[in-house]
């Protein structure tokens, strides 16, 4: 059995939590989970790649990590700042970076802006942050600010038991029961009458200003690390079509694999995803 070690660390005002998997003397990887997920999302994949020293943080506002201070928000650029500070605090000068969905989008920004910190890049169901047409910017700003002003009125849903929470997560994310269970341990907090999600409600608010397609194409073009791209088949709607093809061309992946599964294929088809990542990283794959 591969050892899983829990850790916690405070960097500035941000309290972090997460797990490490694999031998400490091995090459380090940093594995970043998706939106409203947590480190448990990538734990099966980390266990399937036993030759690496995997660092799996709960991103701020997710899992067992702390929420951001009042008056702050959850923007991609803030996650990049958080992660550079976290890497410095952990003494990680350079890592192999593996990101799923939102974690993959954050990874593209980190790899583009700080190429000296990323040895190799693995993107699972990710092609950079979602862009918005410039014509929508005024409407986007208004919608986001109106949502912020109503935040205090938002009530957390209390689930009477873990089964209810599991079912809600399965329906919201199109997850299997197994995939949902991988998330629940770090996602739920006890509350009067049952359980609530630990994730910060501010993460569900609309983004006031998004980058454009042209800007994100430039980000992908700026990535110099050898890159593996793993996408689901059938294809996820927003990772398909002409814009997705343009992003793939800008990214110039060293290898591209379409593997059977949904958006969380790293949980539902772990062996296949681990096999292509293991080949890319030169790592053994657990049987």
pLDDT, position 1: 67
pLDDT, position 58: 98
Distance CA 114, CA 105 (A): 14
pLDDT, position 152: 85
Say if CB 113 and CB 80 are below 8 A apart.
Answer: yes
Distance CA 6, CA 3 (A): 10
pLDDT per 10-residue tile (average), the chain, 287 residues = 91 97 95 97 97 97 96 94 98 98 98 98 98 94 95 88 94 91 95 95 94 97 98 96 97 98 96 98 89
How do residues 78-134 score in pLDDT, each as one tens digit?
A: 999 999 999 999 999 999 999 999 999 999 999 999 999 999 999 999 999 999 999
Say if CB 166 and CB 159 are below 8 A apart.
Answer: no
pLDDT, position 192: 94
pLDDT, position 238: 93
Q: Give the number of C-alpha atoms closer than 13 A to the C-alpha of residue 22, restricted to the C-beta side.
A: 25
Distance CA 107, CA 96 (A): 10
Say if CB 209 and CB 137 are below 8 A apart.
Answer: yes
- 3-state SS string over the chain? CCCEEEEEEEECCEEEEEEEECCCCCCEEEEECCCCCCHHHCHHHHHCCCCCEEEEEECCCCCCCCCCCCCCCCCHHHHHHHHHHHHHHHCCCCEEEEEECHHHHHHHHHHHHCHHHEEEEEEECCCCCCCCCHHHHHHHHHHHHHHHHCHHHCCCCCECCHHHHHHHHHHHHCCCHHHHHHHHHHHEEEECCEEEECCCHHHHCCCCCCCCHHHHHHHHHHCCCCEEEEEEECCCHHHCCHHHHHHHHHHCCCEEEEEECCCCHHHHCHHHHHHHHHHHHCCCCCC
Domains of the chain: 4-129+211-281 (3.40.50.1820)
Distance CA 266, CA 43 (A): 10
pTM: 0.97
pLDDT, position 146: 96
């Amino acid at each position: 059995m591969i050892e899983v070690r829990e850790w916690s660390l405070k960097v500035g005002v941000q309290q972090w939590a997460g797990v490490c998997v694999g031998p400490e003397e091995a090459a380090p990887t940093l594995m970043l989970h998706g939106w409203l997920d947590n480190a448990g999302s990538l734990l099966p994949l980390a266990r399937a790649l036993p030759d690496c020293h995997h660092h799996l943080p709960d991103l701020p506002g997710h899992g067992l990590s702390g929420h951001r201070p009042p008056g702050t928000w959850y923007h991609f650029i803030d996650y990049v700042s958080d992660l550079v500070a976290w890497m410095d605090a952990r003494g990680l000068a350079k890592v192999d970076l593996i990101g799923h969905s939102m974690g993959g989008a954050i990874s593209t920004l980190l790899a583009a802006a700080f190429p000296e910190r990323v040895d190799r890049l693995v993107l699972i169901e990710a092609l950079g942050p979602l862009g918005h047409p410039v014509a929508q910017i005024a409407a986007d700003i208004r919608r986001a600010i109106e949502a912020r002003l109503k935040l205090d009125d938002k009530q957390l849903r209390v689930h009477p038991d873990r089964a209810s929470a599991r079912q809600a997560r399965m329906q919201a994310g199109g997850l299997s029961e197994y995939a949902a269970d991988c998330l629940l341990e770090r996602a739920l907090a006890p509350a009067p009458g049952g359980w609530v999600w630990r994730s910060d409600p501010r993460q569900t608010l609309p983004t006031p200003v998004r980058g454009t397609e042209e800007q994100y194409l430039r980000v992908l073009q700026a990535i110099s690390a050898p890159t593996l791209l793993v996408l689901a088949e059938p294809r996820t709607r927003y990772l398909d079509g002409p814009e997705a093809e343009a992003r793939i061309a800008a990214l110039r992946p060293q290898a591209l694999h379409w593997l059977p599964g949904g958006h969380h294929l790293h949980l539902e088809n772990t062996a296949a995803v681990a096999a292509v990542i293991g080949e890319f990283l030169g790592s053994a794959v657990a049987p």
